[in-house]
A and B are shown apart, each in its own frame.
Chain A
Amino acid sequence: MIELLKPTIYPIIIMGGMGAIFALGLGIAARVFYVYIDPRIGQVEELLGGANCGGCGYAGCSDCAEAIVAGKAPVNACILAPPENIKKIAEIIGVTVEVEEEKKVARIMCRGTPEKAKRRFQYMGIEDCRAAALVAGGDKDCEYGCLGYGTCVKSCPFGAMSMGRDGLPKVDEEKCVGCGTCVRVCPRGVPHLLPVSQKVYVPCNSHDAGKIVKEICEVGCQGCGICRKNCPEKAIIIDKFLSIVDPKKCIGPDASCGGKCMDKCPTGAIQRIIS
C-alpha cells in the first residue's frame, strides 16, 4: 500500500518541504537584513512629475524624492509637478512653501536657416550637433547659431520638439514643460527658457560684432541698439552685441508702444512670439 502511494506522496513532501524551508529562510533573512526606508520618499515620489527628465538636476524622480526628503533639494525642485502637488510635498516634509514661478518654455534663439546663414564647409559626419560642433567648431559660419542636426529634438523627453522644414527645431508650447534638457544638450546653448507670457524676444544667440553678423547671417542681431532706443519701457539691454528683452519690463507688442522695436529693427531680429 505504501509502495503504491510513494509516487504521490514524495513529490508533495519534497516540493512542499522545499517551499516551506525556503519561505522560512526568506522570512528570517528579511528580518535579519531589514533596511529602514523612509516612507515619505515613496509618497513624495508619487507627487513628482514621474518623467525622469532630469530637470531638477538629479538622475531621476526617485533620486529627487530622496534628496527632497533628506532636505538636500527644495520641495519645489520638480518643475513638472503642479503647484498643488508641491504644496502636498511641503506638507509631507513639514515646511511651508510659497514660491510659484511662472511656467517657462524653451525658445530657439536662432533664425539662421541654411539659406540665411552661411556655412563654411559641408559636414558629412554623424548626425548630432555635439559631434558636428567638434569638427573645426561646427560647419556654420556663426559660432553661436543652431547647427540644425536635431540633438535637442532627439533628447526632448516630452516629444515637444520637432525639426522644421527650414532646418531649425520647433518647440510645441503645449507639450514643453521647461525641463531644460534641450538647453543642456545643445553644444551652443541655442534654446533658452523664457517665461510663457513673454511675447517679444530676440531669436538670435550671436555675440559677434555687428559687422561680422552682417557678413555671415541675414537675420542675426547686430547689436545696433535701435530697438533699445525705441523702447519706452527700457526693457531692452544690449549684452555684447546682442539685444535681450527683459520679460519683466516688456509690456508686449500690442501695448501702447505699438511694437516699435520690431518695426525699426534693420534685420528683423526682434520678433513677436506667435504660438
Chain B
Amino acid sequence: MEQQVWTFSDYLLLIVSAVFINNILLIRFLGNCPFLGVSRKMDTAVGMTFGVIFVLTCSGPLTWLTETYLLKPFKIVYLETLAFILVIAVFVQLTEIVVKKVSPGLYRALGIFLPLITTNCAILGTCFYNMRFKFGFLPSLIFSFASACGFGLALILFAGIRERFEYARIPEPITGTGIGLVTAGLIGLSFFAFAGLVK
C-alpha cells in the first residue's frame, strides 16, 4: 500500500497542504455547521478547535486501523461509512466519559463541544480522505492533525472577524447568518491564493 518512503519534506508538504491549500473548511467546505454555529465568540471557537484537534488526531488513525485490519481483509470496504461513524461516535463518547471523571475543568471547557464533534462532517471527511489518498499509518495521523489545525485556523480567523460585527453597522437584511456566510465566502476566496503553492 505504501508506494514510496515518506521523507521529512513530504510530511512538511502534507502539513502545509492540509492547513492552507486544501483547508478542510474553506476549500473543501466540510464542517460548515460548527463554522457558523460556534464562531460568534472567540471562547467557543477556541474550545471547539481544541476539541476537533483532539478528536480528529485520534479518530484518523483509529479509522485507518479499522479499515486496514478489519474491513479490507474481510472485503467489506463498502461498509466504510457505517464503520467509521461507529468508531468516531464510540471514541467521542468514551472521551467524554473519561474526561468528565478525570478533569471536570476540561469537561466544562470542552464538554458541550464533544457531542457536536460526533456529527461534524470535517472529521468523517478527513477519515475518508486518509483512505482515498492511500496514506500509510503515520501520514494519516499527520494529515488528520494538520486538517484539524486547518479547521482551527479558519474557525479562529472567522470568529475574530465575527466578533467585530457586534460593533459594525451591518445592513439590516443581512445581519446574523447572512453576513456570516458572505464573510465565509470572502475568507474562502482569500485562501484560494495559496493554491499552486504545493502540487
Contacts and interface: CB of A to CB of B under 8 A. Distances in A.
Contacts of B167: 126-128, 131
A26 B71 contact: no
Interface stretch (A13-21, A170-178, A202-210, A240-248): A13-21
Nearest to B74: A10
B172 to A, nearest CB: 13
B75 interface: yes
B98 A18 contact: no
A10 B75 contact: yes
B79 A15 contact: yes
9 contacts: A14-B74, A15-B76, A19-B86, A26-B94, A33-B102, A35-B101, A127-B167, A127-B169, A128-B166
Given A29-B94, A35-B100, A15 B82 contact: yes
A34 B101 contact: yes
Contact of A14 (B70, B90, B93, B166): B70
Interface of A: 7, 10-11, 14-15, 18-19, 22, 25-26, 29-30, 33-35, 126-128, 131, 154
A14 B76 CA distance: 9
Contacts of B100: 33, 35
Given A18-B86, A34-B101, A35-B101, 6 more contacts: A10-B74, A11-B76, A11-B79, A26-B97, A33-B98, A35-B100
- Judged by DSSP, the binding face of B is helix
B83 interface: yes
Contacts of B97: 26, 29-30, 33
- Judged by DSSP, the binding face of A is helix
A19 B70 CA distance: 13
Contacts of A126: 167-168
Interface string B100-137: 11101000000000000000000000000000000000
A22 B62 CA distance: 13
Nearest to A31: B97
B75 A7 contact: yes
A11 B87 CA distance: 15
Contacts of A30: 97
Nearest to B104: A35
Nearest to A26: B93
Contacts of B98: 29, 33
B75 A18 contact: no
B82 A33 contact: no
Contacts of A127: 167-169
A15 B167 CA distance: 52
Nearest to B100: A35
A26 B83 contact: no
B165 to A, nearest CB: 11
Nearest to A63: B108
Nearest to B70: A14
B27 to A, nearest CB: 32
Nearest to B89: A22
B86 A22 contact: yes
A45 B186 CA distance: 42
Contacts of B93: 26
A138 B82 CA distance: 60
A10 B83 CA distance: 13
B163 to A, nearest CB: 12
Interface string B163-184: 0001111000000000000000
Of the listed residues A33, A34, A128, the one surrounded by the most CB atoms of chain B closer than 10 A to its CB is A33
Contacts of B87: 18
Contacts of B101: 33-35
A126 B94 CA distance: 46
A157 B95 CA distance: 34
B154 to A, nearest CB: 25
Contacts of B166: 128, 154
Nearest to A128: B167
Given A29-B97, A126-B167, A22 B90 contact: yes
A80 to B, nearest CB: 22
B67 to A, nearest CB: 12
Contacts of B66: 18
Nearest to B95: A29
Interface in B4-39: none
